[in-house]
Amino acid sequence: MNTPQHTLAAALHQARRIVVFTGAGMSAESGIATFRDKPDSLWAQFNTRQMATPQGWRENKQRVWAWYEGRRGAVMATQPNAGHAAIAQLAGTLQRLHGHEVQVDVVTQNVDNLHERAGSASVIHLHGSLFAPRCMACHRPGEFAPGEPDASLTELDPPRCQHCLGYLRPGVVWFGEDMPQDAFRQAEDLVDTCDAMLVVGTSGVVWPAAELPISAHNLGKFVAEINPTPSELAKYMRVQWPTSAAQGLPQLLNLLGTA
């Protein structure tokens, strides 16, 4: 049967190394607001310059820390959706079918750690994580204060670094900052060595992250998109399957078992 999902399933049956590249649409079905979907987007709810730039941090670090702690608390109250679970189960499903090892690596633009909570073992965060604070002064990893985040607070003193006593900052990439180079190099290496790439729930407009599916296409890899509507990357896709992550990925797992 020549449908997008059957073409995709056939390609995955031949693959031993798979990269799953995910964006905000992946987590939207868990109830996490995206940055670009008006009118309920995060950009519609806060001042980008105040909350997501180094300048905003310098102007009022207590306001910024409280806002990100509110986001972290909201994420902790959500659960991974069926799409996250399907990605975590993909390698095991293919291994049981074929009897050889299959590697599935997740490269995500999301900062919510839902892939890890769903059981994915190999996850690269291109834009950092809400759960990985670091020191603004010495850049070492830090630890949150005990207790659950309080989303009602509008200002909150950030914890201090246990090494240098500098202030901890949110572990996400702000506007005007470079993407973590180690993470991006690891992602590039995965693209170089993979057999297939799934692009799930991304608009494809954030650079340099969007370069990765294009690179996979240029290297001749099988690249497929799972997204309700075609993204900016659709022209680089071998397959465009118009469905959501939480609906399409479990269907794909079932199809793999019957294809």
- CATH number of residue 182's parent domain: 3.40.50.1220
pLDDT value at residue 46: 62
* Residue 68 among known ligand-binding residues: yes
| pLDDT on residue 34 | 61
pLDDT tens digits along 102-121:
999 999 999 999 999 999 99
Interatomic CA distance for residues 118 and 185, integer angstroms: 25
Q: How far apart are CA 143 and CA 48, in angstroms?
A: 25
Residues 243 and 151 in one domain: no
Q: Any binding-site annotation on 107?
A: no
Residue 2: per-residue pLDDT:
80
Please indicate, yes or no, whether residues 44 and 115 belong to a single structural domain of this protein.
no
Residues 92 and 219 in one domain: yes
Beta bridge partners of 244: none
What count of other Cβ atoms lies within 10 Å of the Cβ of residue 231? Answer: 22
What pLDDT shows up at residue 40? 47
pLDDT value of residue 35: 53
Q: Is 127 known to be catalytic?
A: yes
Q: What angle do CA 229, 230, 231 make, to 5 degrees?
A: 115
Both 219 and 107 in one domain: the answer is yes
Total number of domains in the chain: 2
pLDDT, residue 257, reads 79
Q: Are residues 160 and 48 in the same domain?
A: yes
Arithmetic mean of pLDDT over the chain: 92
pLDDT recorded at residue 42: 46
Q: Answer yes or no: is 245 a known binding residue.
A: yes
Residue 176, marked binder: no
Q: Binding residue per annotation — 229?
A: yes
Radius of gyration of the chain (CA): 19
Give the DSSP per-residue string, the chain: --SHHHHHHHHHHT-SEEEEEE-HHHHHTTTPPPSSSTTSSSTTTS-HHHHSSHHHHHH-HHHHHHHHHHHHHHHHTS---HHHHHHHHHHHHHHHHHSS--EEEEEES--S-HHHHHT-S-EEETTB-TT--EETTT--B--PPSS---TT-S--PPPBPTTT-PBEE-SBPPTTSPPPHHHHHHHHHHHHH-SEEEEES--S-STTTTHHHHHHHHTT-EEEEE-SS--TTGGG-SEEE-S-HHHHHHHHHHHHHH-
Q: Is 194 annotated as a binding residue?
A: no
Q: What is the pLDDT of residues 37-72, one digit of tens each?
A: 444 444 455 677 788 899 999 999 999 999 999 899
pLDDT at res. 37: 47
Among residues 127, 139, 163, 217, the one annotated as catalytic is 127
* Single pTM value for the model: 0.93
Query: Do 57 and 146 fall into the same domain?
Result: yes
Domain that holds residue 229: 1-31+80-128+178-259
187 & 238 share domain = yes
Is 192 annotated as belonging to a binding site? no
Instruction: Name the pLDDT band for 200 (thresholds 50, 70, 90).
Output: very high
The answer, yes or no, to whether the previous bond of 146 is cis (omega within 30 of 0) is no
